[in-house]
Chains A and B, each alone.
Chain A
Amino acid sequence: MIDELTHYFSSPSNREVVLESLGQHIYLALVPLVLGALLAVPAGRFAQRVPKVRGVLLGSANILYTIPSLALFVIIPALIGTGATASINVVIALTIYNAALLARPVMEGLNSVPEHIVTAATALGYRPRRRFFAVEVPLALPVLSTSLRVASVSNVSLVSVGALIGIGGLGRLFTDGFQRDYLTPILIGVVLTLLLAMAGDLLIVALRRLCTPWQRATAGGR
């Protein structure tokens, strides 16, 4: 196995393909996560504050999530007229998924903020906007970060599917390997995908610890 790996990596073009796919994979998984989270915050807030739209919003989010990724990758260019193999299709599709996936956790996270804390912040003179960003969102982070981890991991694995419509990422190693009947690139792709997912997960956990110092101060936290 080691022999096959050294043999594979001894070719500069192979090295280049792996590095390029890895970079593209990171980009295609990360950008939608950030965009999706940014969209989910107002959507979740809206759902939390206006019970009437909650059912509709969360219901349509659920339905969006049932559209298979492969199909979405193909429908988007047909709808908005981007090129069939443009990576923007994957970015848009995964952004939709992430926003749909994160809207409910945002709502639940905001709901988990104890009412007396919100009242206390108001009493201290926080205006609604500042109270939201400085008090409610940080306190919602522990609940939200769990879902953020799920979203980031599922992104990393969904990006691979893009290879079927000719969009890079590590999935390219799977389709290449399959067509050439060559195991090594497939194995490399699987291992790198796993490592990438783990790295993203650790990063979110680290960011969460960094952003919620009070959880470490109170022994054990919540």
Chain B
Amino acid sequence: MIITELLAWLSDSDNWFSSTGLLVQTLWHLYYCVLSVLVASIIAMPIGLWIGHTGRGGASVVVLSNSMRALPTLGLVTLFVLLAGIGELPTLAGLVILAIPAVLSGAYAGVQSVPKDVRDAAKGMGMTPLQQLWQVELPNAAPLLFGGVRTAMLQVVATASVAAYVGLGGLGSILLEGIKTYSYGQTLAAALFIALLAVLLDTLLSRLSRILTPRGIRVGRPAAAASDA
């Protein structure tokens, strides 16, 4: 019965191609998600890698990322919007904060997972700390690092729909409108597209991770790429 409602909603081409339709909003959703995960990675990855490299402050990374995970994005987003006014920036800030813990702990755990004798070998060969990080630790950390990014992306794709509550576009706006008007077909269609987008982005990132991980490491640790969700 819901399926017929879904099909009915999907069969109306207006729902697909209008300026607030599925296709346009999917692109907006994609844009918000990629942008927030990108910004979060630029902020959190160097920090996680460096702390993993020096080994100092590791406990604080764990505590920080765990407590950040508990921050309710809906609360943050409403708070930012009330403080800074309706707009993309305060809303996206909430999504960036959501994405940081997963990226941070992925990068940190990645470097930490590099065997000690591998690091010692790099040091023994006379590499500078930056060379050790860039040429030895980063490639070895890649599977866990990408695991963190994938987790962050999944969370952001799901949560960006919540941000529609404070006026952000994207598939969430279709979803929330469907809830408001008791249109199950519409809600379900939006939910379906959000889930599809999540699967698509996750698959792309996993491909990217495979391409960027050196083959020797891929062969050695096949299960390491599993996300820490």
Residues of A within 8 A of B (CB): 63, 65-72, 74-75, 78-79, 84, 101, 104, 149-150, 153-154, 156-157, 160-161, 163-165, 170-171, 173-175, 177-178, 181, 183, 186-187, 189-190, 193-194, 197-198, 201
A170 to B76, CA, bound (A): 13
Which of B19-27, B112-120, B124-132, B187-195 is near enough to bind chain A?
A: B187-195
CB distance from A56 to the nearest CB of B (A): 16
CB distance from B68 to the nearest CB of A (A): 10
A177 to B194, CA, bound (A): 27
Which of B39-47, B53-61, B139-147, B160-168 is near enough to bind chain A?
A: B160-168
The one of A163, A187, A190, A201 in contact with B71, judged by C-beta atoms closer than 8 angstroms, is A190
Q: Is the CB of B75 within 8 A of A66?
A: no
Q: Is the CB of B75 within 8 A of A70?
A: no
Q: Is the CB of A78 within 8 A of B81?
A: no
Q: CB-CB < 8 A to A171: which residues of B?
A: 72, 74-75
Q: Is the CB of B70 within 8 A of A156?
A: yes
Q: CB-CB < 8 A to A74: which residues of B?
A: 175, 178-179, 184, 187-188, 191
Q: Is the CB of B179 within 8 A of A183?
A: no
Q: Is B18 among interface residues, defined by CB-CB distance under 8 A?
A: no
A108 to B162, CA, bound (A): 33
Q: CB-CB < 8 A to A181: which residues of B?
A: 82
CB distance from A138 to the nearest CB of B (A): 23
Q: Is the CB of B175 within 8 A of A198?
A: no
The one of B70, B81, B191 in contact with A193, judged by C-beta atoms closer than 8 angstroms, is B70
* Apart from A66-B202, A74-B179, A189-B75: 5 A-B pairs, beta carbons within 8 A: A69-B158, A153-B66, A154-B69, A157-B70, A190-B71
Between-chain CB contacts (< 8 Å), 23 pairs = A65-B154, A67-B158, A68-B161, A68-B191, A68-B195, A69-B158, A70-B175, A71-B188, A71-B190, A74-B175, A74-B191, A78-B184, A150-B228, A156-B70, A160-B75, A161-B162, A164-B176, A164-B179, A178-B165, A181-B82, A189-B72, A193-B71, A194-B71
Q: Is the CB of A66 within 8 A of B70?
A: no
CB distance from A128 to the nearest CB of B (A): 27
Residues of B within 8 A of A (CB): 2, 66-67, 69-76, 78-79, 81-83, 154, 157-159, 161-162, 165-166, 172, 175-176, 178-179, 182, 184, 187-188, 190-191, 194-195, 198-199, 202, 226, 228-229
Q: Is the CB of B179 within 8 A of A78?
A: no
Q: CB-CB < 8 A to A71: which residues of B?
A: 161, 175, 187-188, 190-191, 194-195
Max chain A C-beta neighbours (<10 A), residue from B70, B71, B83? B70
Q: Decide: A183 near B74, CB < 8 A? Known: A71-B187, A201-B66.
A: no
Residue of B whose beta carbon sits closest to that of A157: B72
Q: Is the CB of A70 within 8 A of B78?
A: no
Q: CB-CB < 8 A to B191: which residues of A?
A: 67-68, 70-72, 74-75
Residue of A whose beta carbon sits closest to that of B172: A70
The one of B166, B184, B194 in contact with A68, judged by C-beta atoms closer than 8 angstroms, is B194
Q: CB-CB < 8 A to B190: which residues of A?
A: 71
Q: Decide: A78 near B199, CB < 8 A? Known: A68-B157, A190-B71.
A: no
Q: Is the CB of B70 within 8 A of A160?
A: no
